A and B are shown apart, each in its own frame.
Chain A
Amino acid sequence: MTQGRDVSPAGVSRRALLGASAGLAAASTAGCIQQIGRLVGASAPGQLSLTVKSVPADADAVATRMARQLVKHLERVGVDAQIELQPPRELRKDVLLDGEYDLYVGRLPTRADPDMLRPLLHSVFEGEVGWQNPFSFTDIAVDDHLTAQRRTTGVHREQVVADLQREVASKQPFGTLVVPNEIWATRTDRFTGWNRYSPTDPRSYFALETRGTDGTAEPRLRVTTTNVAPTRNLNPLAVQHRMQDSFTSLLYDPLARRIDGELTPWLAQDWSWQQAGADAVATVQLRPSLTWHDGRDLTASDVAFTHRFLDDTLLGSGETAAPSPRFRGRSSLVDEVTETGDRTVRFRCPDTSVEVATRTLTVPVLPEHVWSQQTVPASPAWTDGSETTSAALTWPNPKPVGSGAVQFEGRADGESLVLTRFDDHFLHRATTPAVPDVVADGLAFEQLSVRVVPSDHAAVQLLSADQADATAMRIAPDSVPRVGQDDGLELHVADGRELYHVGFNTQRPPLGNPHVRRAIVRLLDKRHMAKTIFDGYAQPASTPLAGTDWVPTALRWDGSDPEVPFVGDDGVLDEELARELFRDAGLEYGDEGRLLDR
Chain B
Amino acid sequence: MIPTDLLLRLTFIVGALLALSAVTIVGRQRLRRLRGRLRGRARTLSPYVGMLVLVLGVNSVARDMGTALSWVLDWNITGAIYAIEGEFVATLQAAGSPAVTTFLSAIYVYGYVFLLVFPILAYLALDDLEPLRHLFLAYAFNYAIGVACYVLFIAYGPRNLMPELVDSLLYANWPRSQLLTSAVNSNTNVFPSLHTSLSVTVVLLAYRTRRTYPAWLALSVPLAASVVVSTMYLGIHWGVDVVGGVVLGIGSLYLADYLTDDGGRQRWLERTAGRVVAAVRTRVQQWHARLTDSHSRES
Residues of chain A at the chain B interface (Cβ within 8 Å): 1, 15, 18-19, 22, 24, 26, 29-30, 33, 36-37, 40-41, 56-58, 61, 64-65, 68, 82-87, 90, 232-233, 396, 398, 412-416, 451, 453-455, 457-458, 460-462, 533
User: A18 and B175 in contact (CB under 8 A), knowing A36-B80, A85-B78?
Assistant: no
Q: Which residues of A contact B168 (CB under 8 A)?
A: 57, 455
Q: Are A58 and B187 in contact (CB under 8 A)?
A: yes
B178-198 interface bits toward A, Cβ cutoff 8 Å, 1 = contact, 0 = none: 110010000110000000000
Q: Are A26 and B74 in contact (CB under 8 A)?
A: yes
Q: Determine which of B73, B77, B176, B188 lies in contact with A26 in the assembled complex, contact meaning CB atoms within 8 Å.
A: B73
B84 interface residue, CB < 8 Å from A?
yes
Q: Are B175 and A64 in contact (CB under 8 A)?
A: no
Q: Are A457 and B75 in contact (CB under 8 A)?
A: no
B164 interface residue, CB < 8 Å from A?
yes
Q: Which residues of A contact B295 (CB under 8 A)?
A: 413
B83 interface residue, CB < 8 Å from A?
yes
**In the complex the two chains form, what is the Cα distance from A65 to B179 in whole Å?**
24
* Total cross-chain contacts (CB, 8 A): 107
B296 interface residue, CB < 8 Å from A?
yes
B141-181 interface bits toward A, Cβ cutoff 8 Å, 1 = contact, 0 = none: 00000000000000010011111100010011001101100
Residue in A closest to B81 when the chains form the complex, CB atoms: A40
Q: Determine which of A18, A29, A458 lies in contact with B75 in the assembled complex, contact meaning CB atoms within 8 Å.
A: A29
**In the complex the two chains form, what is the Cα distance from A1 to B78 in whole Å?**
11
Q: Determine which of A84, A412, A414, A461 lies in contact with B76 in the assembled complex, contact meaning CB atoms within 8 Å.
A: A84
* Minimum distance in angstroms from A286 CB to a CB of chain B: 33
Q: Determine which of A26, A61, A85, A413 lies in contact with B156 in the assembled complex, contact meaning CB atoms within 8 Å.
A: A85
Q: Are B175 and A457 in contact (CB under 8 A)?
A: yes
User: A415 and B1 in contact (CB under 8 A), knowing A15-B74, A40-B80, A458-B178?
Assistant: yes
Residues of chain B at the chain A interface (Cβ within 8 Å): 1, 64, 69, 71-80, 83-84, 156, 159-164, 168, 171-172, 175-176, 178-179, 182, 187-188, 295-299
User: A65 and B164 in contact (CB under 8 A), knowing A29-B73, A396-B299?
Assistant: yes
* Minimum distance in angstroms from B141 CB to a CB of chain A: 22
Residue in A closest to B77 when the chains form the complex, CB atoms: A33
Q: Which residues of A contact B73 (CB under 8 A)?
A: 19, 22, 24, 26, 29
**In the complex the two chains form, what is the Cα distance from A495 to B273 in whole Å?**
62
**In the complex the two chains form, what is the Cα distance from A237 to B29 in whole Å?**
68
Q: Which residues of A contact B296 (CB under 8 A)?
A: 398
Q: Are A68 and B175 in contact (CB under 8 A)?
A: no
Q: Which residues of A contact B176 (CB under 8 A)?
A: 458, 461-462
Q: Which residues of B contact A22 (CB under 8 A)?
A: 69, 72-73
Residue in B closest to A69 when the chains form the complex, CB atoms: B164
Q: Are B161 and A64 in contact (CB under 8 A)?
A: yes
**In the complex the two chains form, what is the Cα distance from A18 to B77 in whole Å?**
20
Q: Which residues of B contact A413 (CB under 8 A)?
A: 64, 295, 299
| Extra contacts besides A58-B160, A82-B79, A85-B78 (9): CB < 8 Å | A19-B72, A22-B73, A26-B74, A36-B80, A40-B80, A65-B164, A68-B161, A84-B78, A455-B178
* Minimum distance in angstroms from B21 CB to a CB of chain A: 32
Q: Are A33 and B75 in contact (CB under 8 A)?
A: yes
17 A-B interface contacts by CB (under 8 A): A22-B69, A26-B73, A33-B77, A83-B79, A83-B161, A84-B76, A84-B78, A232-B299, A398-B297, A398-B299, A413-B295, A454-B171, A455-B168, A455-B171, A457-B175, A457-B178, A461-B176
Counting chain B CB atoms within 10 Å of each CB, the highest count among A29, A30, A86 belongs to: A86
